[in-house]
Structure 1
Amino acid sequence: MKIAVWTACLLSSVAAYPSVQEHQSNDYPWRAPKATDRRSPCPMLNTLANHGYLPRNGANISMEILIAGLKTSVNLGADATEVVGAAALKGSTTGNASTFHLTDLDKHGLIEHDGSLSRADIYFGDNHSFNATIWAQTASHFTSPIISLATAAKAHKARLAAAQIENPQFNMSASDVQASMIETALYLSVLSNDTGATAVSAWVQKVFTEEKLPIKEGWKRPEGEISVSTLTALVGKLVAEGM
């Protein structure tokens, strides 16, 4: 019964926002990446490339392209995007210091770090590809339709604890820990059910496993801009929940 009610709510949400969803479905349709397309360890950036908000080939991305793509797609503010972009440009292999490829983010310590929610640590060789086993560990905490702050904090904490046990060279700097907290705050904000603090489990699953925006499932672009202060405040709440 609960599943049926939840599904009905999602379907009614789709009907309530047809113009938004038609725009996102028609102007930015999802396409699976080609074998030659570049992708990163970040499921959200990969998702946006798959929809065409970022170059579909994942190559030669400038700060301007990144800011425009994240603003149009998920309403991420320029201040928050610039943090990601600045780190990405440090690892640029394009031959142009003002652009980067998504694959440049594979470099350990830029935005990629040990204890990812969906990727293996670099110690195991592949820190780039989606890892179904690791994601299953994370998603095992998402047993309700809605992911609360407490649940998100618990999943994050458990993943870091597991990585510490599995990886004899596990290492996270203070900036790595902060980045991982912000990543959790980001999915809670982007895939929120209009609260900005809880996420719809099925939507999170869609982005992480298929790298596809859950538009058909009822998701819509957040109305409020997601800024650095938005994410920092949410991280504070997650820490209070035991992250």
Structure 2
Amino acid sequence: MVNTLANHGYLPRNGQNVSLARLITGLKKGVNLAPDATLLVGIKALQTSTTGNPLTFHLDDLAKHGVIEHDGSLSRNDAYSGDNHSFAPETWAAVAAHFRDLDTISVETAAQARKDRLATAPKANPDFDLTTDGNRFSFIETALYLRVFSQGIDGNARTEWVRSMFEHERLPFEEGFKRSETPLTISDILALVEKIKAAT
């Protein structure tokens, strides 16, 4: 999500020296994510900082294993592979196969895609370890795309829009996406997390 926002200029295009204030503003302007929801990950992001300023981080810092980045990402390989930063087409293809022929992605479909990804990840990573924090961020990862690309907390995100973000790191304005008129709150995200857990 943050790389997508940087590509649109909502965050620094060079990915450098992002403050919490800039992160909050960028996510609000890009997808109308409320500050409380942004802080779910924003505060942890500062723990990855290599900027020399503990109040900023580079987007590349987020690849630091075990803080926000976790084994079993939907679209990246695990740190064990040597590259947990770049988009991994084969990894994502296995996830996207769950909704290849669907116009929208339900909570149940998203939950199954996540579950299957976590089940297959250890086959390529003998050091696979999904920590408590990693598991939490894994649920948030799925909840976030379901909320941003749908009209509520019932799931049914537009498949075309979701694929645009993951595959091209682009918000799908050309495909009709419009940011929500109401802020996407921490309550929205956590409500979806609970629904994903229940469907897993």
Match of residue 165 from structure 2:
207
Matched, 1:223 2:181: yes
> How many Å separate the matches in 1 of 2:182 and 2:194?
19
Asked if structure 1 preserves the Cα contact closer than 8 Å seen for 2:51 and 2:57, the reply is yes
Q: How much has 1:222 moved relative to structure 2? A: 1.4
Whole-Å separation in 2 of the counterparts to 1:109 and 1:226:
26
SS in 1 for 2:164: helix
What secondary structure sits across from 1:154 in the alignment? helix
For residue 223 of structure 1, report the CA deviation from its aligned partner. Answer: 2.2
Q: Distance in 1 between matches of 2:83 and 2:53?
A: 26
d(CA) in 2 for partners of 1:57 and 1:83? 23
| Identical residues among aligned pairs (%) | 55
Deviation digits for residues 66-96 of structure 1 (CA, Å, limit 9, x no counterpart): 0011011111111111122211111111111
Tell me whether 1:93 sits opposite 2:50 in the alignment.
yes
Other structure's SS at 1:136 match: helix
Matched ranges for 1:23-172 at <5 A: 44-142=1-99, 143-172=101-130
Q: With structure 2 as the length reference, what TM-score do the two structures score?
A: 0.96
Question: Which moved further from structure 2: 153-162 or 223-232?
Answer: 223-232
Task: Give CA deviations for 1:156-208 in whole Å, capped at 9, x if unaligned.
Answer: 0000001022211000111111110011000000111x234220111111000
Distance 2:185 2:159 in 1: 23
List structure 1 segments (4+ residues) > 4 angstroms apart after TM superposition.
none
Structure-2 residue corresponding to 1:34? none
Q: Distance in 2 between matches of 1:180 and 1:155?
A: 12
What is the CA distance between 1:114 and its match in structure 2? 0.2
Q: CA RMSD in A?
A: 0.9
Look up the match of 1:9.
Answer: none
Partner SS state of residue 177, structure 1: helix
SS of equivalent residue, structure 2 residue 173: coil
Find the aligned partners of 1:200 and 1:45 in 2 and give their Cα distance: 19
Question: What is the CA-CA distance between 1:118 and the residue it aligns to?
Answer: 0.4
Whole-Å Cα distance in 2 between the matches of residues 180 and 66 of structure 1? 20
What is the distance in 2 between the residues matched to 1:227 and 1:109? Answer: 25
Counterpart of 1:125, as a letter, is: G
Q: CA deviation at 1:229?
A: 1.4
TM-score by length of 1: 0.80
Tell me the secondary structure at the aligned position of residue 56 of structure 1: coil
Q: Distance in 2 between matches of 1:97 and 1:199?
A: 36
Residues 34-60 of structure 1 show CA distances to partners (whole Å, capped at 9, x for unaligned) of: xxxxxxxxxx10000000000111001
Q: Which amino acid aligns with 1:209?
A: E
Quote the residue 1:175 is aligned against: 133
1:159 maps to amino acid? R
Letter of the aligned partner of 1:227 in structure 2? T
Match of 1:93, SS state, is coil
